[in-house]
Structure 1
C-alpha cells in the first residue's frame, strides 16, 4: 500500500534539511502508541533509527536503516527501510523528500508498507494516514518563516 502526504513550509529546503534531526524526530512521534527513541544516528546512508512502541500491555521494537540519501539543487531526500518491524508490518519503506519551491519548500512523506496479510494492510491505512497527517502542523510550526 502506498501513501503520500505533502506539507508546504516557509523555510528553504536546505534549512529544512538541517532541521531533520533527533529533536524533530521526537516531536513528530504521535501520542499513541508512545514511542521511546532507542537510537538515532541521523539521515545519511547506513544510519539506523530504533524505536520502542508501547502498546500498554506489550512493547514492539522498530528498527529502520537509511538505505539512500541525496542532495541536489532542487531537493534533499533520504529513504528508510524497516529491518526489524512490529508484528503488524511485513514491509516498510519511507522516502522523506524536501523539495525546493518558490515560497519555501515542500515536505513530502512517501510511504510504502505491507501488513502480514492483505486485509490488515488495508485496515492499517486510516491509522497510517492519521499518524502522518499528525506531522503537518508540527512541520508548519517548526519550519515557519523566521521573524
Structure 2
C-alpha cells in the first residue's frame, strides 16, 4: 500500500464543513465517514478528515485540547493544494465562497511563476490554492523542466 496523507481538522459544525468540502468538488468517502467524522477525498492518497471537535479531542493525549482557528492564538498549519491552472485557482476560490468558506487571501501573483489565493473553511482552517508555472522556474534557473 502506498503512503497516504490524512489532514485531520476539528469542526464545530460538521454539516457546514461537509457543504464546504463537497462544494469544492471533493468526494465524500462513505466508508470512513459517520456522525462524528467526514472523510473527503482530494486525490486517491490525500484525504481531509473533518472531525467533530469532541471526536477530534479523543485522539489527543495529556492536557492537549482541540484548537479552532477562531479561538485565537497562533496559526499552526497552512495547508496548500496545487491547482492545474490559474482558472482552477479562481474556480475553487469562488466555490469556497459559495459553500460557506471565506477569502483568507485574495488571488495574486506576488511570487514569480505562481498564482495563488487562500480560503478558510467554515471553521477557519486555511487552504492555499496554488498554480505554479514550472516552466518559468526552469527558465529562471537556466535549465529545463524535469519530468
Tell me if TM exceeds 0.5.
Answer: no
Bigger relative contact order, structure 1 or 2 (CA pairs below 8 A, ≥6 apart): 1
Q: Which one has a bigger Cα radius of gyration?
A: 2
TM-score if structure 2 supplies the norm length?
Answer: 0.30
